[in-house]
A and B are shown apart, each in its own frame.
Chain A
Amino acid sequence: GIQVEQSPPDLILQEGANSTLRCNFSDSVNNLQWFHQNPWGQLINLFYIPSGTKQNGRLSATTVATERYSLLYISSSQTTDSGVYFCAVESQTSGSRLTFGEGTQLTVNP
């Protein structure tokens, strides 16, 4: 099946810093989503971005489907940005299931 690799696995920032999280995938995809898992365990949809670039406030994401990667940018980070960020993809060859990466654990210190 499709492989999804996220980097870095852990990231520690000072409040106000910018960061880039990366998601590489091994096959062509129909769908790519970014999630933030909050301290209560809920998965918050950030972006649905099978290709192109989207922005939502301090967050933006870019997916280059032909090169099989996606990037999530967080600018002016805040302590509330802390948590795990997951990339999930729907492969073109394995039905509609989402395959998740291992996640990036982000800690933003005050």
Chain B
Amino acid sequence: EPEVTQTPSHQVTQMGQEVILRCVPISNHLYFYWYRQILGQKVEFLVSFYNNEISEKSEIFDDQFSVERPDGSNFTLKIRSTKLEDSAMYFCASDQGEWLYEQYFGPGTRLTVT
């Protein structure tokens, strides 16, 4: 069964460094998402992406964040200058359309900022 994959599974970085989290969505899916979960809290939406542009973003997704689909398979989340409060689990998800479709989640990348 097709699945969403994410790399790395765990990344440790120093405050102020740039990180890029990578995702490979399911191949015939059109919408891509990033969510994050701070330890012990609920999962929060960051951004959705369709047709090579951001379709929706949350208040969390400020200028420090950016997303890109650099080729036909990868979908990336970049954090330009990490802060301690960026430490979280980051999930990538994808689905086939804008509404009425199940979102499939990747296994997550645990980001630790020291």
Contacts and interface: CB of A to CB of B under 8 A. Distances in A.
Interface residues of B, number: 27
B48 A42 contact: no
Contact of B91 (A33, A40, A43): A43
Nearest to B101: A31
B56 interface: yes
B104 to A, nearest CB: 7
Contacts of A90: 99
Interface in A60-110: 86, 88, 90, 95-103
Given A48-B102, A90-B99, A42 B107 contact: yes
Contacts, number: 60
Interface in B30-83: 31, 33, 35, 37, 42-45, 48, 55-56, 58
Contacts of A43: 43, 91, 105, 108
Interface string A21-49: 00000000011010100001111010010
Contacts of A50: 100
Contact of B48 (A31, A33, A95, A100): A95
Contacts of A35: 105
Given A41-B89, A102-B42, A30 B102 contact: no
Contacts of B44: 100
22 contacts: A30-B100, A31-B99, A31-B101, A31-B102, A35-B105, A40-B107, A41-B110, A42-B108, A43-B91, A43-B105, A45-B105, A48-B102, A86-B43, A95-B55, A95-B56, A96-B48, A96-B56, A98-B33, A98-B43, A99-B45, A100-B44, A103-B42
Interface of B: 31, 33, 35, 37, 42-45, 48, 55-56, 58, 89, 91, 93, 95, 98-105, 107-108, 110
